[in-house]
Structure 1
Amino acid sequence: MLTARKIKTLAYGACFLTVLYYFGVFTHLFESEFKHHFRYPYDGDIEELVQQLRSNATPKVPPINTYNFRFAKSSSNKCKNVENLRLVFLVKSAPEHFDRRLAIRSSWGFEHRFSDVEIRTVFLLGERSDATSQLKIRKEFESYKDIVQANFTDDYYNNTYKTMMGFTWAARFCPNARFYMFVDDDYYVSTKNLLRFIRNPTAYPNYLEPAKQRKLHQYDFDLDVNVRLYAGFVFVSAPHRHRTSKWYVSLSEYPYDMWPPYVTAGAYVVSREALLDMYYASFYTKHFKFDDIYVGLLAYKCKIEPYHCDQFYFNKLGYNFEDYKYLVATHGYGDPFELVKVWTQQRAKNSA
């Protein structure tokens, strides 16, 4: 016979087990080990398939995933007739962030910041059902010709679509740039430091020290065009299994105990070779809802190792000149006035 004490103990036990279940403790017990068991559709080596697609040959295996974007606004002439295009900014922006885009155009995204370096900037947007917002975007596009917008709802869990729209746009309309930076519209970026970084990533920023700089000037140094660079702030982390998390992932979505190494999606740079390989790898990589993880999956399947740089900040670095001297990018600049103010101060000190 159940006594009141036993009933109370059973109730507490059930509550405790429910809490453990809710926070994913049991889920972790059923995860597979990433290191030894990782498989992600398409299950096979895709390098040969990627090269076949790049060379316009018919691949041996049909693609399993295709992003059939219809561009409402394509800015398709942005890179036309541009020789020696060094850098393209692909800024992930929300449709209603008009003020942020204006601030970026007049600061780090200004295309004519350096007279001897060709730079282009486009803004990546999804769609809103609000007709007024769409009308404002149309007028903005007519004024600046730098909006790229396709047929998906602009939503946090559609960020992979936005990112792959950027990859698709670059591969289709702007495939000849040396480097591409994907960056959120609430970031401060030092374009000057970014250009320094992509010149010599492994030695940045140490090579800028006066003694080393003099030695470097003896050579015409630049990163080889065939290098597959995928760089920023690199994470090695595990999936969130607790159901309260914004980043919750079930075992059916991803059964492994670790993610592949990935660069935080807020700001990262890829070389042309990396971008094209990763774009074509997406034809053989099942869609995933988180864009940083998906890009990490593409890189892993292409055997591209992410390169970590401490000068990319996924959180906000408090402002002072010395800390920003070699900084490439930092999160936390959703206020357009603050962004322009900091950029103006850094430009005056020749570090923007």
Structure 2
Amino acid sequence: MYNGSADGPGKFQKALPRNDPLRLSMIYPGNYHFILDDTELCRSIHPYLVLIVPVAPGNWKARDAIRRTWGNETLIQGELIQTVFLLGVPNSGNIKVLQRNVRTENRLYHDLIQSDFIDSYHNLTIKTMVIMDWLASRCPMVPYAMKIDSDMFLNVENLVSMLKTPGTPTTIYMTGRLKNESPVVREKNSQWYVSEDSYRENEFPTHVVGIDFTPPPERYHFRLYMYEFHHCHLAKSICAILQTAAQLINYWTSLKGPGPAC
């Protein structure tokens, strides 16, 4: 199962000929190796649902906020839920210090998975492929997995309720917020710029190749940006995009406190 920002095709540091073997193989997950992977997840712990969060190595604030909120929800409706974080290697700042901090953090929580690709915005496609590779190789028997970005609010109770609803597929199942006819951004100053050399079509495909998309029971289950706290909106949602780690903690605390009947 997928939710989060829709990542476009991978972009390259420099243009390569279309038939160049390097270009054709850059996002193949077998090109990369796990350098940090000591979680007990799917070894001695066999969850019903794995929540896997792609996050930058230096973004410890986001990981801390998730551990203090929805990442701390481990038993919902009798089902075991586990959260892990997927990182690449740092490519800026004091790389040695950042990497040492990552290893220290993992010794405390044992919930970091790190691969040896460069962690950058342009490598988000690689990051997603590595997530899929890890799930397929480490957790092939897990019933459900969710890729969720680090800036998301997640209502785990509602997520499990959706998964346990009669009729929810148990195999070849993907759901989330679907973007129809999403245009490719060609403005070079945009964060989401994709060159024609990287992707020729003017729109991204609606569906993942080979997998039919299953709409969620309600469109509001997967929300876009939520700039202000609204108790009933969050109480009925599965997830929403937030702006800061502090906002996640505040929204979570408010939702768990007294509120109106929804």
Q: Same fold (TM over 0.5)?
A: yes
Question: Which is further off, 160-169 or 141-150?
Answer: 160-169
Q: Alignment partner of 1:246: what SS?
A: coil
Instruction: For 1:100 and 1:255, locate their aligned partners in 2 and report how far apart those are by CA, in whole Å.
Output: 35
Q: Alignment partner of 1:343: what SS?
A: helix
| Paired amino acid for 1:169 | W
Question: Which is further off, 96-105 or 313-322?
Answer: 313-322
Structure-2 change in CA distance of 1:197 and 1:243 (3 Å):
same
After superposition, residues 159-198 of structure 1 pair within 5 angstroms as: 159-198=124-163
Structure-2 change in CA distance of 1:243 and 1:112 (3 Å):
closer
User: Any gaps of 5 or more consecutive residues in structure 2?
Assistant: 1-18
User: Any gaps of 5 or more consecutive residues in structure 1?
Assistant: 1-40, 42-62, 201-220, 262-295
Partner of 1:117: 79
| Paired amino acid for 1:109 | G
| Paired amino acid for 2:186 | R
Structure-2 change in CA distance of 1:131 and 1:317 (3 Å):
same
Given that 2:28 and 2:129 are in contact with CA atoms closer than 8 Å, whether structure 1 keeps it comes out as no
Given that 2:186 and 2:193 are in contact with CA atoms closer than 8 Å, whether structure 1 keeps it comes out as yes
| Paired amino acid for 1:305 | F
Partner of 1:345: 254
Q: Alignment partner of 1:304: what SS?
A: coil
Task: Count residues with an aligned counterpart.
Answer: 231
Q: Alignment partner of 1:118: what SS?
A: strand
| Paired amino acid for 1:239 | V
Partner of 2:238: 328
Partner of 2:88: 126
Deviations 1:98-118 (A, max 9, x none): 122122112101152437211
Partner of 1:243: 188
After superposition, residues 1-352 of structure 1 pair within 5 angstroms as: 66-67=28-29, 68-83=31-46, 85-114=47-76, 116-129=78-91, 130-200=95-165, 221=166, 223-226=168-171, 228-236=172-180, 237-261=182-206, 296=207, 299=208, 301-305=209-213, 307=215, 309-336=219-246, 338-348=247-257
The structure with the largest alpha-carbon Rg is 1
Partner of 2:4: none
Structure-2 change in CA distance of 1:178 and 1:250 (3 Å):
same
| Paired amino acid for 1:233 | R
| Paired amino acid for 1:334 | T
Instruction: For 2:161 and 2:33, locate their aligned partners in 1 and report how far apart those are by CA, in whole Å.
Output: 36
Structure-2 change in CA distance of 1:112 and 1:254 (3 Å):
closer
1:249 to partner: Cα distance:
2.6
Q: Alignment partner of 2:189: what SS?
A: coil
Instruction: For 2:75 and 2:250, locate their aligned partners in 1 and report how far apart those are by CA, in whole Å.
Output: 16
Deviations 1:132-180 (A, max 9, x none): 1111110111111110111111111111111111111111111211111
1:222 to partner: Cα distance:
5.5
Given that 2:76 and 2:156 are in contact with CA atoms closer than 8 Å, whether structure 1 keeps it comes out as no
1:312 to partner: Cα distance:
1.1
| Paired amino acid for 1:347 | K
Deviations 1:79-130 (A, max 9, x none): 22345x2211101111111122122112101152437211111101111151
Instruction: For 1:82 and 1:186, locate their aligned partners in 2 and report how far apart those are by CA, in whole Å.
Output: 26
Given that 1:229 and 1:307 are in contact with CA atoms closer than 8 Å, whether structure 2 keeps it comes out as no
| Paired amino acid for 1:320 | H
TM-score, structure 2 length as denominator? 0.78
1:198 to partner: Cα distance:
2.1
Task: Tell me the percent identity.
Answer: 26
Instruction: For 2:80 and 2:55, locate their aligned partners in 1 and report how far apart those are by CA, in whole Å.
Output: 22
Given that 1:87 and 1:177 are in contact with CA atoms closer than 8 Å, whether structure 2 keeps it comes out as yes
Instruction: For 1:115 and 1:143, locate their aligned partners in 2 and report how far apart those are by CA, in whole Å.
Output: 28
Instruction: For 2:228 and 2:200, locate their aligned partners in 1 and report how far apart those are by CA, in whole Å.
Output: 38
TM-score, structure 1 length as denominator? 0.60
Given that 2:174 and 2:211 are in contact with CA atoms closer than 8 Å, whether structure 1 keeps it comes out as no
Please tell me the root mean square deviation across aligned C-alpha atoms, in Å.
Answer: 2.6
Given that 2:77 and 2:160 are in contact with CA atoms closer than 8 Å, whether structure 1 keeps it comes out as no
Question: Which is further off, 155-164 or 341-350?
Answer: 341-350
